[in-house]
């Protein structure tokens, strides 16, 4: 984790840049897209879901802005069934299984514009579990969002990896691992 933060800081500090918005401006960005979620240390497959919500951004300097938002994200994992042949019982099939978790995430992100319209993102994201299957996940999830976004004529394409740092369940070391790609539109206020 220290290496990722150090690399991001070096990259961000070494690039001259241009912001898309005027210093001191505030914008709102509704967005929607796709999440590809999994759990670490769970021997599971990635699960597709939706992500949608809005973020607000304050342009601090020509190259630096801060943003915060509320995003609903479908997360979890899936396991495909297997067939096992036992000498006495014959073929036994285990069914497919899915873990469906829904979170309200609150990303707080620093954005550095490395060229006009292109921003590198790093922040912290508390998340609150609001829907679950017949499981008992921890109510709060914390992750580190790292990503890139590109803005053209107020349309924003955002790709983000949310690196889970807190355990999803009390009795497990599994953490959320979520890749998101969204499309949004910025409105100045």
pLDDT in tens, 36-72: 999 999 888 999 999 999 999 999 999 999 999 999 9
Q: Is the pLDDT score of 1 beyond 60? A: no
Q: Considering the entire predicted model, what is its pTM? A: 0.81
Distance, CA of 108 to CA of 125 (rounded, Å): 6
pLDDT at 14: 44
Give residue 7's pLDDT: 55
Q: Which residue has the higher pLDDT, 94 or 102?
A: 102
**Per-residue DSSP letters for the chain?**
-HHHHHHHHHHHHT-----SS-TT-EEEEEEEEEEEEEETTS--B-EEEEEEEEEEEEE-SSSEEEEEEEEEEEEEEEE---EEEETTTEEEEPPPEEEEEEEEE--EEEEEEEETTEEEEEEEEEEEEEEESSS---SEEEEEEEEEEEEETTEEEEEEEEEEEEESSTT---EEEEEEEEEEE-EE-
Amino acid 21: pLDDT: 79
Which residues does residue 185 pair with via DSSP β-bridges, in sequence order? 155
pLDDT of residue 18: 44
Contact 148, 159 (CB under 8 A): yes
107-151 pLDDT tens trace: 999 999 999 999 999 999 999 999 998 889 999 999 999 999 999
What's the pLDDT score for residue 134? 85
Which is higher by pLDDT, 172 or 120? 120
At 13-35, the pLDDT tens digits run 444 334 467 899 999 999 999 99
Residues in the chain: 189
Beta carbons of 118 and 148 less than 8 angstroms apart: yes
């Amino acid at each position: 984790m220290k290496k990722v933060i150090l690399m991001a800081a070096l990259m961000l500090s070494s690039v001259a840049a241009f912001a898309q918005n005027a210093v001191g401006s505030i914008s709102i960005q509704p967005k929607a897209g796709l999440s590809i979620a999994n759990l670490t240390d769970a021997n599971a497959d990635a699960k597709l879901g939706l992500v949608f919500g809005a973020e607000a951004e304050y342009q601090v300097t020509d190259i630096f802005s801060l943003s915060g938002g509320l995003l609903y994200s479908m997360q979890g994992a899936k396991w495909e069934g297997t067939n096992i042949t036992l000498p006495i019982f014959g073929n036994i099939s285990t069914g497919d299984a899915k873990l469906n978790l829904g979170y309200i995430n609150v990303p707080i992100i620093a954005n550095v514009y490395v060229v006009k319209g292109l921003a590198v993102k790093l922040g912290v994201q508390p998340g609150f579990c609001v829907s679950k299957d017949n499981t008992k996940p921890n109510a709060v999830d914390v992750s580190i969002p790292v990503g890139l976004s590109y803005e053209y004529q107020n349309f924003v394409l955002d790709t983000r990896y949310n690196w889970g740092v807190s355990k999803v369940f009390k009795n497990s070391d599994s953490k959320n691992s979520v890749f998101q790609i969204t499309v949004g539109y910025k409105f100045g206020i």
